[in-house]
């Protein structure tokens, strides 16, 4: 009797968990609105365009709309959150060795001094070594 009671208790716990998950999924599907990004059970990602009774219209790419039954929507995709880099937000100017303020124009001119000229073809490169030894660079 004890083994039967344990088995029935385990079945009840598993089924109550499943029912809870099904209720949460049904509530999620009932609360879909236009603009939500979702994924279908087959893996299609799209944005909800229209919700009509049991039919959800998704737009997977601009102009490409497909219709899905409400039960085929698996989950809502949360938009990615961009991390704000504090260094990009600061508008402080750099100071060089002479304590002069370095402007953006100075940074651009310094960057242009370090430009490397890359040839368009191999004709301007020196010939390959013929002695069979690998290059050491």
What is the pLDDT of the chain when averaged over all its residues?
Answer: 79
DSSP, residue by residue, 28-53:
HHHT--TT-EEEETT--EEEEEEEET
pLDDT at residue 65, as a whole number: 93
Which is higher by pLDDT, 15 or 82? 15
pLDDT at residue 5, as a whole number: 93
In the predicted structure, residue 53 carries a pLDDT above the cut 80: yes
Predicted TM-score of the model (pTM): 0.47
Q: Which of 40, 39, 37 is nearest to 48 (CA)?
A: 37
Give the span between the Cα atoms of 23 and 10, in whole angstroms.
20
pLDDT at residue 25, as a whole number: 87
pLDDT at residue 84, as a whole number: 61
Give the span between the Cα atoms of 69 and 34, in whole angstroms.
15
Give the span between the Cα atoms of 93 and 62, in whole angstroms.
42
């Amino acid at each position: 009797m004890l083994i039967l009671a344990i088995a029935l208790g385990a079945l009840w716990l598993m089924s109550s968990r499943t029912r809870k998950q099904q209720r949460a999924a049904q509530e999620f599907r009932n609360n879909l609105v236009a603009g939500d990004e979702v994924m279908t059970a087959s893996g299609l990602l799209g944005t909800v365009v229209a919700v009509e009774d049991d039919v959800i219209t998704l737009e997977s790419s601009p102009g490409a709309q497909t219709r899905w039954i409400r039960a085929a929507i698996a989950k809502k995709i949360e938009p990615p959150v961009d991390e704000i880099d504090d260094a990009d937000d600061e508008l402080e100017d750099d100071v060089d060795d002479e304590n002069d303020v370095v402007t953006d124009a100075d940074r651009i001119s310094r960057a242009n001094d370090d430009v490397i000229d890359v040839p368009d073809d191999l004709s301007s490169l020196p010939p390959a070594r013929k002695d069979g030894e690998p290059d050491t660079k």
